[in-house]
């Protein structure tokens, strides 16, 4: 246990029960910090289906935060399941004045994150930001590529006003530094190897997919959306199926491209959103895991696939760049080598001994990716920030916001 407990306020525009990589990471962060005795308060947008005071729960049923403050929000274009938070810096300062945080962690750079940054700076609270999503890269896939330069400028301005920015990989840190961001450190992600593991493999589930033990289940887990480069996985599978006609393509997740793919490929298995033990069974019941995305800051599904004992094919980016050693515990391909991605998939389909080796080694290496050590590292990073300039902010200071 750490010597002194602190109050950390987490500000984010996505949080459980929402299902995505950022929400999953924040769930692990909050429960990990709480287990080490810290007070965690969370500020996030309110979902339509919840009351203004409902608390999100961790997988073990415990509360994710000691305090949860929800604010109004609006749907994010292209991501209707997520919402922009709408709150003034005055309101956030009033919340924090009641119980002043030792530090603020801002996970998203939207309107809520900006209001939090302004409030924290005015109150003299140390601010750490996380770089969780490549919004500038996403713009290319939603007809807004002309905004990419402006988005980069905003992100640079935003993160450079924070005391510290955390990137999930060394490669991501280098990219952010090249974009002109200062004070960037690496804070990676762990994986739950008790939840995800080969022991969750289900013959019943595979039979439902129309497969027996000898057949090949090619699986994708994630948002079915343009920014995930999903069409490359489709192309790779169609080439593979020419050689292995009994193979099945299993897609776990949902998104704006789901209905179009269902119409074009009614023989694919669309499993929808899965979570908890059901998600673990879906992962473990696959054989080859295809992850064609080139817009990930990390990509938790890569390490979850490794923990599940799958042979992963991914681009040399995000989690793959950090944790996959080519032909040892998975396969990674140069970032823009689409033909190489397809050829790698075809190679694995015809080399079962290599697939078996990759699956075994992936599981063993995933066992070394621990959340507890990463929670301790987060503590060291955030509590090394400059101390508050105004530890006990007065009501008069808030009135000036």
Chain segment 46-103, per-residue pLDDT in tens: 876 665 444 444 444 445 668 899 998 887 766 666 677 888 899 999 999 999 999 9
| Secondary structure of residue 101 in the 3-state scheme | coil
Q: Does residue 125 share a domain with residue 225? A: no
Nearest to 27 by CA among 52, 61, 70, 51: 61
35-47 pLDDT per residue, tens: 999 999 999 998 7
Considering the domain architecture, whether residues 381 and 358 belong to the same structural domain is answered as no
Residue 2 included in any domain: no
Q: Check whether residue 277 and residue 244 sit in a common domain.
A: yes
Query: pLDDT at position 303, please?
Result: 98
> Which CATH number is 395's domain given?
3.40.50.2000
Q: What's the pLDDT band for 395 if we cut at 50, 70, 90?
A: very low
One domain, residues 209 and 298: yes
Question: Please, are residues 40 and 5 in contact by the beta-carbon 8 Å criterion?
Answer: no
Residue 77 and residue 92 in one domain: yes
Q: Within a 10 A sphere around the Cβ of 278, how many other Cβ atoms?
A: 15
Same domain assignment for residues 265 and 356: yes
Residue corresponding to tokens 């302004």? 118
Which residues, 6 or more positions from 154, have their beta carbon under 8 angstroms from its beta carbon?
109
Same domain, 25 and 165: yes
pLDDT above 90: residue 334: yes
- Asked whether residue 318 is assigned to any structural domain, the reply reads yes
Answer whether residue 356 is part of any domain: yes
The answer to whether residue 305 sits within a structural domain is yes
pLDDT at 399 exceeding the cut of 50: no
CA distances from 118 to 113, 133, 274 (A): 9, 21, 37
| Lowest mean pLDDT segment, chosen from 249-258, 287-296, 391-400 | 391-400
354 cis-preceded (ω within 30 degrees of 0): no
In this prediction, residue 53 carries a pLDDT of 47
Residue at 166 is within a domain: yes
- pLDDT tens-digit readout, 117-174: 999 999 999 999 999 876 545 445 445 555 778 889 999 999 999 999 999 999 999 9
| Listed range (133-137, 227-231, 350-354) with the worst mean pLDDT | 133-137
**111 inside domain:** yes
Return the beta strands (E) in 201-324 as ranges: 217-221, 248-252, 269-272, 288-291, 311-315
Task: Please state the rounded mean pLDDT for residues 281-285.
Answer: 98
Contacts of 303 (CB under 8 A, 6+ apart): 189, 190, 191, 319, 323, 366, 369
Confidence grade of residue 220 (pLDDT, cut at 50, 70, 90): very high
Tally of domains in the chain: 2
pLDDT digits (tens, 9 = 90+) for 102-125: 999 999 999 999 999 999 999 999
Answer whether residue 197 shows pLDDT above 60: yes
pTM of the predicted protein model: 0.87
Residue 1 lies in a domain: no
The three-class DSSP label of residue 327 is coil
Whether 388 and 286 map to the same domain: the answer is no
What is the domain range of residue 252? 198-366
pLDDT at 43: 96
Specify whether 56 is located in the same domain as 102.
yes
Average pLDDT over residues 365-388: 92
**Predicted confidence (pLDDT) at residue 198 exceeds the cutoff of 90:** yes
In this prediction, residue 3 carries a pLDDT of 53
* 319 within domain boundaries: yes
What is the spatial distance between Cα 84 and Cα 382, in angstroms, rounded to a whole number? 25
Flag the least confident range among 21-35, 71-85, 272-286, 298-312: 71-85
Residue-level pLDDT at 87: 86
Mark whether 122 and 219 lie in a shared domain: no
Going through 146-296 in order, the beta strands assigned E by DSSP cover 164-167, 184-186, 217-221, 248-252, 269-272, 288-291
The reply to whether 218 and 269 lie within a common domain is yes
Assess whether 302 and 336 both reside in one domain.
yes
What's the pLDDT at 267? Answer: 96
């Amino acid at each position: 246990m750490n010597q002194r407990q602190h109050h950390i306020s987490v500000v984010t525009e996505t949080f459980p029960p929402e299902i995505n990589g950022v929400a999953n990471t924040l769930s692990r962060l909050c429960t990990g910090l709480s287990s080490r005795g810290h007070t965690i308060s969370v500020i996030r947008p309110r979902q339509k289906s919840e009351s203004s005071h409902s608390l999100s729960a961790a997988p073990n049923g415990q509360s994710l935060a000691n305090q949860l403050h929800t604010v109004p929000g609006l749907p994010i274009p292209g991501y209707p399941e997520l919402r922009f938070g709408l709150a003034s810096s005055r309101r956030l300062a009033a919340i924090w004045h009641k119980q002043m945080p030792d530090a603020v962690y801002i996970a998203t750079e939207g309107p809520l994150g900006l209001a939090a940054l302004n409030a924290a700076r005015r109150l003299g609270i140390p601010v750490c930001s996380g770089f969780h999503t490549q919004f500038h890269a996403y713009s290319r896939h939603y007809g807004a590529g002309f905004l990419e330069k402006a988005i980069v400028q905003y992100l640079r301005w935003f993160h450079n006003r924070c005391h510290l920015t955390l990137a999930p990989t060394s490669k991501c840190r280098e990219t952010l530094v090249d974009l002109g961001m200062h004070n960037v450190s690496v804070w990676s992600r762990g994986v739950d190897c008790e939840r995800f593991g080969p022991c969750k493999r289900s013959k019943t589930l595979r039979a439902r997919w129309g497969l027996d033990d000898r057949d090949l289940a090619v699986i994708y887990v994630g948002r079915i959306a343009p920014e995930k480069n999903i069409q490359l996985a489709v192309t790779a599978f169609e080439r593979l199926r020419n050689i292995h006609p009994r193979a099945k393509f299993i897609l776990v997740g949902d998104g704006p491209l789901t209905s179009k793919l269902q119409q074009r490929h009614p023989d694919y298995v669309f499993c929808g959103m899965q979570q908890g033990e059901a998600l673990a069974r879906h992962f473990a019941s696959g054989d080859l895991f295809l992850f064609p995305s080139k817009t990930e800051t990390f990509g938790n599904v890569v390490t979850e696939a490794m923990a599940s004992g799958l042979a992963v094919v991914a681009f040399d980016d995000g989690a793959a760049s950090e944790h996959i050693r080519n032909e040892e515990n998975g396969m990674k391909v140069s970032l823009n080598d689409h033909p190489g991605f397809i050829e790698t998939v075809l190679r694995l389909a015809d080399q079962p001994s290599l697939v078996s080796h990759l699956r075994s080694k992936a599981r063993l290496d995933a066992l070394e990716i621990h959340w507890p050590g990463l929670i301790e590292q987060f503590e060291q990073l955030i509590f090394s920030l400059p101390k508050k300039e105004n530890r006990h902010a007065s009501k008069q200071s808030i009135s000036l916001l």
